[in-house]
Amino acid sequence: MAIRSAANSVDVAICEDIVVASTFASVRPPGEEWSRFWETEPNGMVVTAGETGVLDQEAFGLIPTLSVDPGQEPGTELTVVFVPDAGNATINGIFQIPESGFSEERWLQVDGTETSSACNS
């Protein structure tokens, strides 16, 4: 999984196939508590490795029940969780927006590196 800035939201890339039961994303600005900024109801949607979706709309065909601007201040932490329908492990990641800012061109990986490709094999 990788993320990048998408105007007032977050673009997420899923790097492995999953049948999604539900999903949510949370944000924690520096010095604050975690709060959800995007979530969906159970769906059973199939997401294929390499797909991307912006978390302010029907990402991956999942209809959000909550969608607010997560903020993109350096040091802010974002967590994105995809809970499987069955037979898969949960796909999740905790990301920290770098001091240099949140890029719309480069993908932020869980380890903090930025890459031109979302899903590096």
Residue 44 sits in a domain whose CATH number is 2.60.40
**110 in any annotated domain:** no
107 pLDDT band (50/70/90 cuts)?
very high
Q: What percent of the chain is modeled with pLDDT above 70?
A: 98
For the chain, state the CA radius of gyration: 13
Query: What is the model's pLDDT at position 42?
Result: 67
Torsion on CA atoms 55, 59, 62, 67, rounded to nearest 10: 20
- Decide: pTM greater than 0.85: yes
Query: What is the model's pLDDT at position 111?
Result: 94
d(CA 88, CA 111): 22
**40 in any annotated domain:** yes
**114 in any annotated domain:** no
∠ CA 44-37-119 to the nearest 5 degrees? 60
**115 in any annotated domain:** no
Q: What percent of the chain is modeled with pLDDT above 90?
A: 42
**10 in any annotated domain:** yes
DSSP summary character for residue 62: P
**64 in any annotated domain:** yes
Tens of pLDDT, residue by residue over 47-62, are 889 888 888 777 777 7
Average pLDDT estimate for 29-53: 86
Domain residues for the domain of 97 are 2-101
d(CA 118, CA 109): 8
Count of domains for the chain: 1
Q: Is 108 helix (H, G, I), strand (E, B) or coil?
A: strand
Closest CA to 13 of 99, 84, 110: 110
Tens of pLDDT, residue by residue over 70-102, are 878 899 999 999 988 877 788 999 999 999 988
Residue type, 91: I
